[in-house]
Structure 1
Amino acid sequence: MNTLSHPDLSDIKRGDWVDRRLPLAWRPYTRLARLDRPVGIWLTLFPCWAALVQASHGIPELRHLIVFSLGALLMRSAGSTVNDIADRKFDGHVERTRFRPLASGQINVPQAVLFLVAELVLAASLLFFLTPYTRLVAICVLPLVFIYPLCKRFTHWPQAVLGAAFNWGMLMAWSEVAGEIPTGAVLMWLGAVTWQIGYDTVYAYVDMQDDARLGLKSTAILFGERGRVFIGTFYILTVAAWSVGGWMIGMSLSYFIGMLMIVAHLSWQTWRIDLSRPDVNYRLFLGNILTGMLLAATAFVGT
């Protein structure tokens, strides 16, 4: 596989809205929080919205939508900041990430840590709008947020840890709206975890050669040339978990028709994977925004 070198795949887009419109001092923090690359935020939001809809049996309360949307934004940004702090010495040697703020020296570690504290304080302030049970569920995700950046040093499965943390808002949505987390909701969350293992493995193939050179681990390195088979398997597990989970929480026939659309989209993605084409894999990763949209829409029509 060739190392990522196509300029369109660079992690930082020079001359984008951040460079054009924001003061110089704000730019590195905006990029540290990934506000210039919101794909991860959308991939966090859509499953969370789907869970809110399912737990509410229809349109969620506006306050729940606001609190959970802000929470997903802040925790995704905080997770990205933790990741960049932990990986700053590696990022400078990876083509895709070498222009990140810490790796390129635009800000230093103490500044990044202060920014992280601010993000966590803002996220913690949202807990006052949630029930005590949901606060407890929320606190339980913090170890995963801080462990994930270190996982690639000792396990090939950092994508699994990221998937568990990334989609934790689904469990919180149920605890807040319904006061419990039923088995069907846990299956929906597990489906989101396997979905993320699949699409984040596609993403990991973009960096596979650089990661291997640096001694880092990922599912892409573990799967090697069998990547398409494994990714397809995780997508099958995703649809199975979402289907059984949806049935257990009482989704209607329309929900399962929507699942067929998700099956078609994920099947197309699996068929398009080309382990030797980082540019193709990167676009397929971005295509999972549509998967998230389909999940949220399917949950809505299924209620």
Structure 2
Amino acid sequence: MAAAAEQSSNGPIKKSMREKAVERRNTNKEHNSNFKAGYIPIDEDRLHKTGLRGRKGNLAICVIVLLFILAVINLIITLVIWVVIRIGPNGCDSMEFRDSGLLRFKQVSDMGVIHPLYKSTIGGRRNEDLVITGNNQPVIFQQGSTKLSVDKDKTSITSNIGMEFVDPRTQKTLFSTDYEKHEFHLPKGVKTLNVQRASTERITSNATSDLNIKADGRAIVRGNEGVFIMGKTIEFRMGGNMELKAENSIILNGTVMVSTSRLPSSSTGELLYDDGWMRYKLCSCADGTLFRVKVESRNMGCQTSSNPC
């Protein structure tokens, strides 16, 4: 050790050629095997973050999913338009749009609910029939409160504001419910009119046919200037009571017959007075005035102190 110290203090130790070659070889081998040369370990959290992270990343995912859903819906709508409306390279095969706003169907079309615009018109070709059918459902045309329903066994029209049928060629009114401007005539072939309430000056029928007025509940006939009922034979059939009211008088001009087939009667032919009922006898004057007399005893006549005759 002392000899080596003396040599180092006197100057640098000279190495042989062989020692220098071995030292150079070891240095190159160390450099070639050191892959972390110049690497400085730094914490990743302290570095500058790039890209979409956190809430921005979730928002980006939501936007991508929404765009995907819109693309699928757009694809479905395109397929429906292509299959139903039959749009192809040559245009639309099932319908045709005119400059006047007319929409013409060139093939059989299957549709559900159609909402026409204001004052829309539906029609067919001049020499061809317009066929509208419903699959186990009635065909309904509705505009506001007015509705036309075509079923298998009936055709009904419902409206709260009235209706009017006009010939499109002559503009002549064929049928109208406007009582102030038109006289109410039923078209040919229509024999029954079902209404909840009607206001008119006169109701008549043909001379060779009867006029029948039927009501499920109550039938009330009123007239501002009186009610006049005329006919060859006038017959009233009631399920309940019939009431005639007048401010001044009721005039029955003609032969008046009252059917007693439905009036209550006793099986023994004698009236019973102990059942709690009050009975009256219908009497008539020579001028046709009718009045009633309370029956108080058997075989009682029409003589009374307050005889209107």
| Higher relative contact order (Cα pairs below 8 Å, separated by 6+ residues) | 1
Q: Which protein has the larger Cα radius of gyration, Structure 1 or Structure 2?
A: 2
Shorter-chain TM-score bucket reads under 0.3
- Normalising by structure 1, report the TM-score: 0.18
- Normalising by structure 2, report the TM-score: 0.18
